[in-house]
Structures are given as C-alpha cells and as structure tokens.
Structure 1
Amino acid sequence: MSNLPSPFVSRRALLGATLAGGLALSGCSRSAAPISSATGAPTGPRKRGGTFRFAPADFGSTVTTDPQSANSSFALAAAYTDTLVRRDHDWVPRPALAEEFTPEGDDLATWTIRLRDGVTFHNGKPLTADDVIFTIRRNLDPENPGFVAGLLDSLDPRQLTKLDAQTVRLKLKYPNSMLQEGFAEVPAGIVPVGFDPKKPIGTGPFKQQSFTPGQRWVGVRNEDYWMEGRPYLDSLELMGFANADVARVNGLLSRQLDGIDRVPANQLAQLRQRGEINVLVSPTGAFQFVSMRCDKGSQFEDNRVRQAFKLMVDRPQMVDVAFGGLGDVGNDVGSWAKFDPTYDSSLPQRTQDIDKARSLLKAAGQDGMSVRFRVGDVEPGAKTAASLLIQHAKAAGVKLELDVVADLAQFYGSASYRTAQLKNDWNFTQSIYDNASYCWLPSGPYNNTGFDHPKVASLYRQALATSGSKSRELMQELSRVVHDEGPWIVWGRRDIADAYNRKFTGPVPDASGLGFNGFHWEEISLA
C-alpha cells in the first residue's frame, strides 16, 4: 500500500499543490493524510471474516453492473472497481490506481498517467495502460457516453498514447487543470479491455459472485487486492427493496440487514433507541434543488422570473422540516466553501422576500403565473420540500400544479425530465467544476434546463487553462454569475445519516454525500 503524503479539501477543490510521491493533483490546496489511514478510522488489529449485508439507497429496480451507466449503483461499482484517483473521507484526492497523474510541465493540455505496479483484475490479468485507454474511450463513446463523459470532455479519445505497459499520455482538446476531477468519480472506475457488464471484472476489493437485478449483488473478498491486508470482510451483500426507505429501516431493526445509508430524518429516533445500532451523521455538500427551464420560449427564460422564484423560498424552514435540521441553507450554486474553494464565499445569502418576488414577476409580466411542478421522491425529504415550495409560491401569487412521478426510473428516464419547466432534483457533494461540466454548459450531458450563458462558458475555459489562485478566482467569478442568473434554486445541503449494526466497525464521517463511508468497502470489518 502506498504511504503518500498529500493535499486538499473535499470533493472538487483542486487548485494548486502536489501530492508528494508522484501524483500531482493540480489545484489541491490542503494536505491529506497517507492513503493507509482514513480520518477517524479504527486503529489497531482488525478482525477478518464475516459478511456485511447492506441495502444501498441507490440499488433500484433498474440497477446495472456497468459502472459507467447512468443506472449504475455507486455502492455496487465501488465494491468491484477502483478509480485512478480517489477521494478520502474529507473529500481529499488521493493516489489510487494511478501513482502519477501530472501535466507535462506547464502544458495543461498534455498529461501523463503512470499506473501503480502489481495491480491485477479479478481474473488475474495485470492492469495496464491498454485498460485505461479502453475505459476512457468507452466513457467517451458518442453513441453511449458514460456517466462521467461531461467531466472528461476535454479528452481527445484519438490522442491517447501508450508509452509503455504502465504509462499513458493524454493529449487534450483544450487545457484542463482540473482533469483529475473526472477520474475521481466512482463511475470512472477502470475496467479491462473487452469489459462485459454481464460478467463484470474490476480491480476492486470484492469480486462478483452473483447478481440478481434489483434484488441482490454478492461479492467475495479479492485476495489479491492492491491495498495490503484489505478487504477485511469475507463477502459483501448489497440488497434492493421495494418501498425502500421503510423496508430498509425495518430490515436493519429485524437484523436482516447490517447497514443502510441515507436514512430519512424522521426515522433516526427509532434507530437511535436500539443499543445494537450505531447512527453516523456526516456533514456533506450533498444538496437538493429545484431546476427551472430557461431556454428561449420557456417560462423561466427571463432571469427576473428565476430571481423571483429564488426569493420565494423559506430556506431555513425547508431544511428544518425536510432534513430534520440536519443540514444548512443553500445559495443557488450547489457548492459550499467548506468543500470547494472555487465557490465565492462572499456571495450574499438569499433569504425569503415575497414582496420583491412579486415585484420581479410583475416587471417580467408574469405575476399570477401558473407552472407545472414535476416532483419525484428523489431523496428523503424531497416531497416534503416540494409541498413547502408550493406554499411559498402561493404567497407570491404563483400557482404550482403538482405533477408527482412515483417511479424514479420514469422520473429520470422519460423525455419530460429534460423538458419540464420546473422540477426537483438532488446531487452529491459537488464543485463548481462538476456542476459546470455536467449541467451549466450547453454541451453538459445533464443540462436539462437549457441554460446557456456565454460568460459561464468563457470563464470555465479560462479557469481550466490556468491553475492555482488564478484558476480559483475565475471559478469564483463563474459561481457569481450562476448565483445571479443560474437555473437552480438550491435550497439546502444535507448531512447524511447512515446506520449499521455495532458488530461491525470501520465507518467514519464521509464528506462525499455518497452515503455510508463513501463506499470505501475495504475499510469495513467485524468489530
């Protein structure tokens, strides 16, 4: 196992510094602990053996074992794949499969990746440069782009060169000082040349033994895992349930399960009463928001209407009621200074102002407007928050016609997800870079609001073409533009509550917002 000293903040604050020992993460600004020691993790001897039965919130009926699919389960993908770069529990980027990932001098359009020696796939095949090139091209396939394609957009799939068995040179279409960001995402897990999702193979801590879609995935210990001495468990079982929130809590209470993630706030008290259950609350940047369709001809084309809706919201009330107070108010950008220094922390916090909202709507000729509000139960508290927003809008003279989509596969999978004028949504801890790449650029794969702002696109490219404080300043300016004119009402960030049986140990607070220990499954053991 590598013991590299380090840098940084949470899930995307890459701006300046170097990971000693070879992995230069352009843009990191803090020091991280060695990869062998997780913040707050148990010390001393750890027991080996046992099976951990876990019900992830993202293990739905349409889940696939393809880590690059939009229908993948992060919990599942993290069990059997590894990424080139990995974030620790403080959202700090660390070396993983790549021991070196650096630009060539000052050329931010040319990068070199050198792989860790001795890593093998579950079938015994050594990890090589060919696998990295295959995975990148698979993600960038225009016919079937991967989940992280937007973050990897700067890569030219035709300009990936194998220098030797362990080294790849990347020639980019344009400079990108934040390139490692995309490779730290769980769906960027490296798969072997010729990967078959029906018989998935990775380098991760657990090897697939069986998979029943929507019901159960079973993985057994990878005895040849590259992290020495890990994983501790003999096996990991991931389970899916209908009526997931209630069924998962009941499963933990009845000891049919050993752990669950993303526990709804209204069920925490019940779990805390049980002596055999430990509840772990992680401060994160995970957030819920409402998006407004704002391209030409849409109801939110006029920024005055978007600003009015942002001013309708009683954010503290929504956090208190929907999150049970476990979180904080949002400020319409989807990033927080605690996790991302590229967010401008001097931005004034929006507060409810019904009179100003009414005035803006009147100036835009939209007073008394009616909007169809598409709502999915995307996260615990989501429908409660939607009900509150309807009340807030009514106070401003706006009628929101509720359109509830019970099936999440239908909510996200249908064309109306992209065309809806107003809808709710959520995301993990994100940086400005993430949100811009995914959602705010016209080319963003998850831009479902029609948002297209020339200044955002210009600042984004300028920020990627430099590094350090200059890049950070440009991204902060970008965050100001989005705060003023963007398509999102980010009303709150959420602290994530997970729960597990005390006969297991290893989980620690994790800033990623993914859930349970950031899905670092190799750290879990019997107590």
Structure 2
Amino acid sequence: TKDARVRRAIALCLDREKLAAGLMKGRAALGNDSPFAAVYPSTDTSVPQRKQDIAQAKQLMEAAGLAQGFKMTLTTERYLEIPEYAQLIQNWVKEIGIELELNILDQGAYYGDAVFGKSNWLDSVMGITDYGHRGVPNVYLAAPLKSDGTWNAAHFKNKDYDQMAASYIAALDLEAQKATAGKIQKLLLEETPVVFGYFYDYLTATAKGVT
C-alpha cells in the first residue's frame, strides 16, 4: 500500500514477543522494522521498540479511510518457518479488517528470475522474504530499501532515506554510525516500507587450524 498509515497499522498488529518466544522458540531477537538488530554496535537502542497495539492500528486504518478493511494477497516462499509466520500475520491483521489470502510458493517460483517484472518476490503487493545474517547492516540498508535497490520489493523511494543510508555506509567511526542509525530507525518506523518482525539467532561453527 502507498499509505504509510496502513503499513504502520499492519506492523502494529504483530506480537513480536510471541514471534520470538513461540514461533522461534526463544531463538530470536525482536525486530523494530529496520535492519538494525540489537546485535549491531551501531544500533540506536534508545529508539522505542514497536509493540502490538490493535487500538492504534484501528485508528490508523480509520484515518486512512479504510476502517472497514480490505482484501489483499500475501505471497511468500515455502521455506523454514515462513509459512507459519505468514499464517500468524494473516490472523493478526484480521483484527483490523484486513483479509489476507496466502499464496505460498516453492522457492523457485517465488524468486523467479530475481529481477523486477519477472519475480513474485519483487512484484507481489505484499510478501515475506528470508534474509541471511551479515556482519554489518550495509547490504540491508541498500538493496531492499534504497530507491535503486535491487531487492526493493516494497518499491520504496525516499530521497531522505537514500542520503541517510549513504551517510551511514560512509561513516568512519561508530559514533557517527550511531547518530545516523537513529535517524534511519525513526524514519523507517514512520514509513514502514518493510516489517522486520524478528532476527533469528545465527550459529556458526569454527575450528582452529582449518585453512
């Protein structure tokens, strides 16, 4: 949807504590609708955590002229916990009148050619995509969110965001990164082009002497 109020309303339907504790069995951290997971040193932890607030979500829907809700298709992939995540979202948004039809595809059909115009991932009205872990958030600040991002399934175009992301990536020290990160986090909470509901724990096995 092009109305940020509706996007925020959907985000406010999610019970992130239940996602982390239930769906992910405690092996995940809460997401706050930006790529800045708590694990990153540059994340501004003073930015308030978004929590489930159905009353506020209903107010936003009413303000957007959609108090009666609407129907929409959520397209995603059959991979790990994602189908169950989609079902939870489907149930939660019913409370604000949104009727989601789930279109769950095999990964090949979901990603298609992975270019705009030839990919359910990039062309669907609403989707869920799995992201792997990165040591720094730079890829996730650029590819899915910048106006020219190659993963920009949300078709999000915001010049202020583009400048902030470029400033963050160019920053030379942690304090400069943190200052910009806070601005990015607040902007993304306001615009909510992407919902980051949780960040799953990532385990890596290592051994000495391996070359």
Q: TM-score, normalised by structure 2?
A: 0.86
1:348 Cα deviation from its structure 2 partner: 0.9
CA drift of 1:330 comes to: 1.3
Distance 1:385 1:306, change over 3 A: same
Call closer, same or farther: CA 1:465–1:420 in 2, change over 3 Å. same
Does 1:439 find its partner at 2:132? no
Corresponding residue for residue 452 of structure 1: 157
Q: With CA pairs under 8 Å and 6+ residues apart, which has the higher RCO, 1 or 2?
A: 2
Cα distance, 1:494–1:471 mapped onto 2, change above 3 Å: closer
Whichever residue aligns with residue 427 of structure 1, its letter is: Y
1:385 to 74, 85, 102: 85
1:411 aligns with 2:117: no
Q: Pick from 3, 8, 12 the counterpart of residue 311 of structure 1.
A: 12
For residue 425 of structure 1, what is the aligned residue in structure 2?
129
Cross-structure match for 1:369: 70
Separation of aligned partners in 2, 1:384 and 1:318 = 10
CA pair 387-434 structure 1, distance change in 2 beyond 3 A: same
Residue correspondence of structure 1 range 88-127 to structure 2 within 5 A: none
SS in 2 for 1:387: helix
Is residue 482 of structure 1 aligned with residue 181 of structure 2?
no
**CA-CA distance at 1:456 after TM superposition:** 0.9
TM-fit CA distance, 1:396: 1.6
Could you tell me how far apart the structure 1 residues matched to 2:177 and 2:35 are? 19
**Larger relative strand fraction:** 1
2:115 is matched with which residue? Answer: none
Once the two structures are superposed, what CA deviation does each residue of 1:128-153 show, in whole Å capped at 9, x if it has no partner? Answer: xxxxxxxxxxxxxxxxxxxxxxxxxx
Larger radius of gyration: 1
Unpaired runs of at least 5, structure 2: 113-117
Offset at residue 307 of structure 1 (A):
0.5
More helix per residue: 2
How far does residue 334 in structure 1 lie from its aligned partner after superposition? 2.6
Moved beyond 6 Å, runs of 4+: none
Corresponding letter in the other structure for 1:418: L
Match of 1:461 among 163, 166, 183: 166
Partner of 2:3: 302
Q: Tell me the residue number matched to 1:394.
A: 94
Does structure 2 retain, via aligned residues, the 8 Å contact 1:322–1:382? no
- The 2-side partners of 1:452 and 1:358 are apart by 26
Q: Which amino acid aligns with 2:184?
A: L
Kept in 2, the 8 Å contact 1:463–1:470? The answer is: yes
Partner of 2:179: 473
Q: Deviations over 1:484-510 (max 9, x none)?
A: 2131111111124xxxxxxxxxxxx53
Decide whether the 8 Å contact of 2:147 with 2:159 is kept in 1.
no
Distance 1:433 1:374 in 2: 26
Does the Cα contact within 8 Å between 2:9 and 2:61 map onto a contact in 1? Answer: yes
CA distance in 1, matches of 2:208, 2:77: 29
Q: Which amino acid aligns with 2:87?
A: S
- CA, structure 1 residues 472+329, in 2 after alignment: closer, same or farther (shift >3 Å)? closer
Are the counterparts in 1 of residues 29 and 38 from structure 2 also a CA contact under 8 Å?
no
* SS in structure 2 of the partner of residue 439 of structure 1: coil
- Length-normalised TM-score, structure 1: 0.36
Q: Does 2:46 match 1:346?
A: yes
Secondary structure, counterpart of 1:333 in structure 2 = coil
Matched residue type, 1:454? K
Superposed displacement of residue 464, structure 1: 4.0
1:51-450 aligned at under 5 Å gives the runs: 300-338=1-39, 340-367=40-67, 368-378=69-79, 380-405=80-105, 407-413=106-112, 414-430=118-134, 431-450=136-155
Distance 1:522 1:490 in 2: 37
Distance (Å, rounded) in 2 between the aligned partners of 1:479 and 1:494: 19
Helix, strand or coil at the partner of 1:374: strand
CA contact (8 A) 1:456 1:478 kept: yes
- What's the offset of the Cα at 1:328? 2.4
Give the 3 Å change call, closer, same or farther, for CA 476–341 of structure 1 in structure 2: farther
Q: What is the rounded CA distance, in whole Å, between the counterparts of 2:193 and 2:209 in structure 1? A: 39
Compared CA separation, residues 381 and 464, structure 1 to 2 (3 A): closer
For residues 522 and 466 of structure 1, do their structure 2 counterparts lie closer, same or farther at Cα, with a shift above 3 Å needed?
same
Give unpaired runs (5+ residues) of structure 1. 1-299, 497-508, 511-516
- 2:45 and 2:154 map into 1 onto residues whose CA distance is 25
